[in-house]
């Protein structure tokens, strides 16, 4: 087990290096000067200032050297300095990551509560009006892009009904709409997944055994059916949580949520490369670590899984 975790964390290093290397290469070939914007508007630009800025951020050096410098700093936990504010990237992204995490946790709770309960109820009342509606609504939810859904929700619940604040801030009400927008597709997918795994488990021989043992219905349901049904769902949730933490770009933009997704969009618009690299580095690391957590959890829930 210990060796398995060490090996997987070793993979993390390889994945982060690979991802950032590709990103560096991409940013390098992009047109436009990264420091152009801070050097002033096109006409007023002083070549001496640009040269000075290039020196300051090491942009005068070859790409390989720039990448080497980045990796060297990364080892010490330093993600470099951004171009527009001249502040450490970690300092800028820290609170934004916290905001994104809040949103992601809220979304995953919605996924679990709505997704699993809808899926379980649909499976238990198969072909009933509830089941058919659940299938219809979840399919619809998967089909509607979150940008459309988010804007409709904003229009209806914020502008028309005035139930929620337009600027989310730190309030509890503020998080509800963005969390729903972010969660809805995954909640629908979780519901469909939970329904199909539960239908499979309901037919399993060991469920018949549990009934034949004289166990009360509730015990059969919770101990023998639900537990086996949620294992694949947990895997899915873990992976999607990684995706959410990597930045909910669209949702954060619609609701002006000050997270790393919004930071990424702004950084791209401003050619603020250190922020872009920082967000990707954090995203990749979070994703890989969460995948590891999911695999460990999977092994803990299903004894047939061997970690090797």
Partner 1 sequence: MSRTPVTKHDEGDGMTSLEMAPTDAGADGAAPLLEVRDLHVEFAVRDSVTKAVNGVNYSVSAGETLAVLGESGSGKSVTAQAIMGILDSPPGRIAKGEIFFQGQDILRLSEGERRKLRGAKMAMIFQDALSSLNPVLSVGFQLGEMFRVHQGMSRKDSKAKAIELMDRVRIPAAAQRVGDYPHQFSGGMRQRIMIAMALALEPDLIIADEPTTALDVTVQAQVMDLLAELQREYNMGLILITHDLGVVADVADKIAVMYAGRIVETAPVHELYKRPAHPYTKGLLESIPRLDHKGQELYAIKGLPPNLQAIPPGCAFNPRCAMAQDVCRTDVPPLVPVTELDGTELPGRHSACHFWKETIHG
The minimum distance between CB 249 and partner 1, in angstroms, equals 38
The minimum distance between CB 308 and partner 1, in angstroms, equals 15
- Residue span binding partner 1 (CB under 8 A) among the ranges 105-113, 176-184, 211-219, 240-248: 211-219
Binding partner 1 by CB under 8 A: which of 70, 224, 236, 287? 224
Instruction: Give me the 250-279 binding string for partner 1, x by CB under 8 A, dash otherwise.
Output: ------------------------------
What CA–CA distance (Å, rounded) separates 28 from 25? 5
Decide: is 218 part of the binding site for partner 1 (CB under 8 A). Answer: no
State in Å, rounded, how far the first CA of the chain is from the last one: 8
How many residues touch partner 1 (CB under 8 A)? Answer: 22
CA neighbours within 13 Å on the CB side: how many for 251?
29
The minimum distance between CB 231 and partner 1, in angstroms, equals 7
| φ/ψ of residue 35, rounded to 5 | -95, 0
Binding partner 1 by CB under 8 A: which of 128, 209, 256, 266? 209
CA neighbours within 13 Å on the CB side: how many for 70?
25
Binding partner 1 by CB under 8 A: which of 213, 256, 266, 293? 213
- Residue span binding partner 1 (CB under 8 A) among the ranges 46-54, 106-114, 217-225, 254-262: 217-225
What CA–CA distance (Å, rounded) separates 81 from 58? 11
Binding partner 1 by CB under 8 A: which of 12, 71, 215, 265? 215
Decide: is 228 part of the binding site for partner 1 (CB under 8 A). Answer: yes
Would you say how long the chain is, in residues?
308
Decide: is 208 part of the binding site for partner 1 (CB under 8 A). Answer: yes
Q: How far is CA 299 from CA 1, 11, 156, 234, 295, in A?
A: 10, 19, 44, 12, 6
The minimum distance between CB 292 and partner 1, in angstroms, equals 21
Of 185, 146, 177, nearest to 257 by C-alpha is: 177
The minimum distance between CB 96 and partner 1, in angstroms, equals 40
Binding partner 1 by CB under 8 A: which of 204, 296, 297, 307? 204
What CA–CA distance (Å, rounded) separates 179 from 252? 10
Find the helix packing angle between 273-301 and 227-245, rounded to 10°.
Answer: 170
The residue among 21 and 231 lying less far from partner 1, judged by its C-beta, is 231
Of 122, 284, 287, nearest to 199 by C-alpha is: 122
What CA–CA distance (Å, rounded) separates 249 from 265? 7
Decide: is 195 part of the binding site for partner 1 (CB under 8 A). Answer: no
- Residue span binding partner 1 (CB under 8 A) among the ranges 3-11, 26-34, 198-206, 247-255: 198-206
The residue among 171 and 209 lying less far from partner 1, judged by its C-beta, is 209
Encoded tokens for 185: 């597709």
| 203: three-class secondary structure by DSSP | coil
What CA–CA distance (Å, rounded) separates 85 from 74? 20
* Contacts with 276 (C-beta within 8 Å, 6 or more apart), sequence order: 23, 27, 264, 267, 268
Decide: is 125 part of the binding site for partner 1 (CB under 8 A). Answer: no
Decide: is 222 part of the binding site for partner 1 (CB under 8 A). Answer: no
- Residue span binding partner 1 (CB under 8 A) among the ranges 38-46, 189-197, 266-274, 295-303: 295-303
Interface with partner 1 (CB under 8 A):
204-206, 208-216, 219, 223-224, 227-228, 231, 301-304
């Amino acid at each position: 087990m210990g060796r398995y975790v060490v090996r997987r964390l070793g993979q993390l290093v390889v994945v982060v290096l690979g991802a950032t290397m590709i990103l560096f290469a991409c940013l390098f070939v992009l047109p436009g000067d990264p420091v152009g914007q801070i050097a002033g508007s096109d006409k007023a630009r002083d070549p001496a200032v640009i040269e000075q800025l290039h020196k300051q951020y090491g942009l005068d050096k070859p790409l390989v050297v720039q990448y080497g410098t980045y990796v060297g700093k990364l080892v010490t936990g330093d993600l470099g300095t951004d171009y527009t504010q001249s502040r450490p990237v970690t300092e800028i992204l820290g609170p934004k990551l916290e905001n994104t995490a809040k949103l992601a946790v809220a979304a995953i709770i919605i996924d679990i509560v709505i997704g699993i309960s809808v899926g379980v109820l649909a499976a238990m009342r198969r072909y009933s009006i509830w089941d058919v509606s659940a299938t219809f609504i979840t399919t619809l939810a998967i089909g509607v892009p979150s940008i459309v859904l988010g804007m409709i929700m904003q229009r209806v619940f914020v502008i028309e009904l005035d139930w929620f604040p337009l600027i989310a801030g730190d309030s509890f009400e503020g998080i509800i709409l963005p969390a729903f927008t972010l969660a809805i597709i995954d909640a629908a997918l979780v519901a469909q997944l939970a329904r199909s795994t539960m239908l499979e488990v309901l037919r399993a021989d060991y469920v018949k055994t549990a009934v034949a043992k004289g166990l009360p219905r509730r015990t059969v349901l919770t101990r023998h059916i639900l537990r086996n049904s949620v294992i694949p769902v947990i895997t899915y949730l873990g992976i999607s949580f990684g995706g959410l933490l990597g930045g909910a770009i669209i949702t954060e933009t619609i609701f002006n949520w000050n997270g790393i997704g919004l930071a990424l969009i702004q950084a791209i618009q401003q050619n603020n490369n250190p922020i872009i690299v920082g967000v990707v580095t954090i995203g990749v690391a979070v994703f890989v670590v969460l995948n590891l957590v999911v695999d460990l959890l999977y092994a803990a829930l299903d004894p047939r899984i061997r970690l090797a």
